Structure 1
Amino acid sequence: MAICCQAETERQAVLGIEQADWIALGLTLRLAAVTTVILLVLGTPLAWWLAHTRSRIRLAVESIVALPLVLPPTVLGFYVLMLLGAQGPIQALGGPALAFTFTGLVIGSVLYSLPFVVQPLQNAFASLDRSTLEAATTLRATPLDRWLSVILPLTRRGFLTAITLGFAHTVGEFGVVLMIGGNIPGETQVISIAIYDHVEATDYGSAHRLSGLLLGLSFVMLFALYTLNGRFRLGTT
């Protein structure tokens, strides 16, 4: 009897959503936050290079960055799984097997959401007035000063768009995370997979509540993005 009561307590719903689903939501938000930070660190210099380089390999690099936009998620997930799995090259070189781990999810999410961060930043950097940067250089501003005082303020809308799109796209992932992470509750089960599980079990009520929660979260993020972008636009006119 005590075991049954304990199991029932663990399944108690908050706002109609079970504890296991809240755990999946928390893991999803953590994955999206970590992925977005990594993408900003890696994507900012890459976007700057793409916006200003005249290298012959630029088009090839741009094509590679944009691949997740047209590549089926299961294809990308499969090759990342082969890379991170027990028989993959990483473990062959002495590294750990990262498939079906949170770290593996992060790696797959970074690759899958890369264009959603790089492309807005690249467009923002390409639209910079070079005379402004040259003026800052003439005033003997250091590279760090130019970034903090000139580049970041002028490209803040691009950064805001990149952060929002990268975060939201990671939250909505399904195919890639399912291929790489499987469906391990509390470890790799994200909210999109939890919704799929409920639908597969014909528990449409739980699926509806989780889907509605994601719908509301997506609307709030986009509304905040457009509101802030509108304020930035007014502030620069």
Structure 2
Amino acid sequence: MSAHILVAEADERQAQVLRMYLRSEGHEATIVRDGRAAVETARRLRPDLLVLDAEMPKVGGHDVCRILRQESDVPVLMLTARSGEDDLLLGHRLGADDCVTKPYSPCELMARVGSLLRRVKRSTPASDAAVLRVGPITVDPLRQEVVGPSGHHVACTRGEFAVLEVLASEPGRVFTRGQLLGRTGGRVSSMSGRTMDMYVMALRRKLEPDPRRPQYLITVYGIGYKLTPGVASGADGAGPGPSPVLPVRAPRSSGRVSCPAPSRRR
């Protein structure tokens, strides 16, 4: 699977080694040397994955991850020189999808890259031709139509439909506001978390029997929103929650594997 990978690594030698290994796997690699360039390049190029050194000049790696997570769901593999559990958990809390401790085996890193890319491919929203059904709610991306729990067509704005389509693509998954903004691909009118809350409230008024006690479009406080086939009214609370805090994910095993150096391309 060929991908465009942004590598944010302050050490020039290490960055070139990463580029060589990524190219040997068939990927395109763009290198940046500081955190500010990492944020600007990620916004401009929209890479398939970001390999991010935690210790970056100008803007630290943790801050880069926090900034991008507010506006994008680009997968982030963080490189950290600190092996303590608290440091690894910090990376995950800020939104990193995986963390690798330095020094690392390039072969191990390529395995982690491949695993993240496969995970992203599996979670990509269904194609426009697929009708999405979540309980009594139907979302038809091809016809841009929504049928609500009452069985009637629901008129949605372009932004409302974009948000609902993302939520319906993975029923039960909790999306942060930043992830929703990133997945809607610019179809919402403003890139802000509060705008996302307004879209959700508008959708509740159109889809929920009682918008104050939502059964389908659920707030998960401190994280974001999810679309479910139906829950007990008010089980997770109603209305937009506070600013999103990404859930902690357990770090993966960092067992190393040896592998031969890739052949250099001429």
Q: Which has the higher contact order (CA 8 A, sep 6+)?
A: 1
Calculate the TM-score normalised by the size of structure 2. Answer: 0.24
Q: Give 1 or 2 for the bigger CA radius of gyration.
A: 1
Higher helix fraction (1 or 2): 1
Higher strand fraction (1 or 2): 2
